Structure 1
Amino acid sequence: MYKVDLPLDQSIENAVERRRSAETERKARIFNTRLRVMGLDVSALDQQVQKKKHQQNMKIQRDKAFDKLREYHDEALLQQDIDEKEKQDTLQAELTQYWATHQCVEDSRDADLKCGLKGAFSSTTPEGKLGPASMTLFQGEDIGEEQMRREQMKKTDRDLRAQKEDNERKHVGEKQREMIVNKELVLQDLRGVQLHALDEECKKATRIALDNYNHALTAERAERLKEQHRREEMEKRAEMQHTLTSDMMTECAEAAERELGGRRAARVLVDRWKGMSPEQLSAIHREREEQRQERERQHHYNMQLAREQQEHQEFLNKKLYTNKPSKDYFHQFNTSSR
């Protein structure tokens, strides 16, 4: 099998490095004596303030972008309505022009009957040569035609009036709808402005409350530091007073003695002993003198005892034991094996 170098996953290493950096920052923040004693992370507060300002700027920019987008949509809707109206007017004008150009009464098939042969098609064939198929008017056909024409004209007028009224109603309805839409847009804009104003008021109140809270925290921290300084100053003064009036500075000899319970004698604390008192010195001198005198008496007694022993020994040697055996006396013993 071949050895394949697979690409390493950098995301795991990046995540581990990110967690390690976060842990290092946390340790630096926690084990910082100044921050721990003061109880306030100034850098973190500054970072929060910068983040808050950035969020506020982003929100302001977003609101401005939304306002511009809303204005653009309003202008687009208004322009669309204007274009639609212009298109309808253009179509109506073109339709009227088409009617006037291509659907004139003079161009109809019965123009010769309605308009007195004005604009009617004139045939060049003599009337005597025309057959029955060329006949357009028969006897009895035009009975009541005038009445029918008047009725038709009235009907046309009614239709035109109804169409006109319908168009007017449609136009009025469109106007009303447009007015309602414009009112809704205006109300929406006003509502947006009011909401924006309320939002700004809330932000302002929040900022004021946050500033007051920060001022209160600052005042509390200053008061706490002042109280701490005052307490430390009092402790220092008490310590100085205790040091000045202590047994060490006043060299009190009794401070070096500590009474023990039971039958044990008092113990001297060497770290506090400043020397012996005159009474102790006189007692030591007196005891030394007594010891010296006792030694002299013992010496005299020993000298007397030595003289007595010497005299007794001389008595024994010179007076009591005069016949002293010689060496020959001792040599006579153990001379043979039997």
Structure 2
Amino acid sequence: MKDDMDEISSLLQGDLLSENPEQAVSSFGRHRVIPDRWKGMNQDQLMAIRYSQQQQVLEKMRLKEEERRRDAEWDRQSIQAARAQLILERHQQRQNRECRQALDNVNAELSQEQKSRNIYLKEEAYSNSPTDQYYAQFNTTSR
């Protein structure tokens, strides 16, 4: 009976039923455990894991916010570049239109000058058409 009581008290106060975490430590190091003796983590270890998980969640949220800001900045810059390109294209079109109008005006002036010159040449310079007497003076000598 005494042996039975000693065995019961030994089991109750022993590592197995008291869930002593030191019993699960492997002989290869404190960072390794023996799976069939391990009873789980204590509250401090659980709190440390929960704290690190919260830190990871906060870090991930911070990174997402940073990425969102970066994307918003890229979008803003691309919109700004598109606006600048549109303004530049409009300015270029305006300049091309002005150059085309100036060229059209110059061409109209040149056309008018050419018409008046042709009229002058037709009416004044080339008004005397050659007669037979004019052609008769050629090839009259033996030379």
For the superposition of Structure 1 and Structure 2, which TM-score range results when normalised by the shorter chain?
Answer: 0.5 to 0.7
**Match for 1:207: what amino acid?**
L
Q: Tell me, in whole angstroms, the C-alpha distance in 2 between the residues paired with 1:198 and 1:261.
A: 84
Corresponding residue for residue 2 of structure 2 = 139
Q: Tell me which of the two structures has the higher relative contact order, counting C-alpha pairs closer than 8 angstroms and 6 or more residues apart.
A: 2
TM-score, with normalisation over the residues of structure 1? 0.30
- Distance in 2 of aligned mates of 1:262 and 1:201: 83
Match of 1:262 in 2: 139
- Taking the TM superposition and a 5 Å limit, the aligned residue runs for 1:78-157 are 138-143=1-6, 145=9, 149=13, 155=20
**For residue 223 of structure 1, what is the aligned residue in structure 2?**
102
Q: Which residue of 1 aligns with 2:50?
A: 171
Q: Which residue of 1 aligns with 2:83?
A: 204
Q: Secondary structure at the match of 2:42?
A: helix
Q: 1:171 and 1:263, CA in 2 relative to 1: closer, same or farther beyond 3 A?
A: same
Shift of residue 238 of structure 1?
A: 1.7
1:200 to partner: Cα distance: 0.9
1:70-85 alignment, distance < 5 Å: none
- Give, in whole Å, the separation in 2 of the partners of 1:154 and 1:181: 36
- Quote the Cα distance in structure 1 between the aligned partners of 2:52 and 2:65: 19
Identity rate, percent: 5
**1:167–1:261 CA distance, 2 compared to 1 (3 A):** farther
1:191 is matched with which residue? 70
Deviations 1:149-176 (A, max 9, x none): 49876948xx99x521221122112112
Alignment match, 1:239: 118
User: Aligned partner of 2:139: which letter?
Assistant: G
Output one character per residue of 1:33-72: Cα deviation in whole Å (capped at 9) or x when no partner: xxxxxxxxxxxxxxxxxxxxxxxxxxxxxxxxxxxxxxxx
Please list the CA deviations of residues 192-246 of structure 1 after superposition, one character each: whole Å capped at 9, or x if unmatched.
1111112112211221221122112211211111111110111122223334424
- Within a 5 Å distance, the mapping from 1:189-338 to structure 2 comes to 189-246=68-125, 248=127, 252=128, 255-257=129-131, 258-259=134-135, 261-263=138-140
Counterpart CA distance in 2 for 1:155 and 1:216 is: 88
Change (3 A) 1:235 1:200: same
SS at match of 1:256: coil
2: CA distance, partners of 1:180 / 1:261? 109
RMSD value, Cα:
3.3
Q: Which runs of 5+ in 1 are unaligned?
A: 1-137, 265-338
1:120-148 CA-to-partner distances (Å, cap 9, x unmatched) read: xxxxxxxxxxxxxxxxxx225445949x6
Counterpart residue identity of residue 208, structure 1:
I
Superposition TM-score, scaled by structure 2 size:
0.64
Residue aligned with 2:140, SS: coil
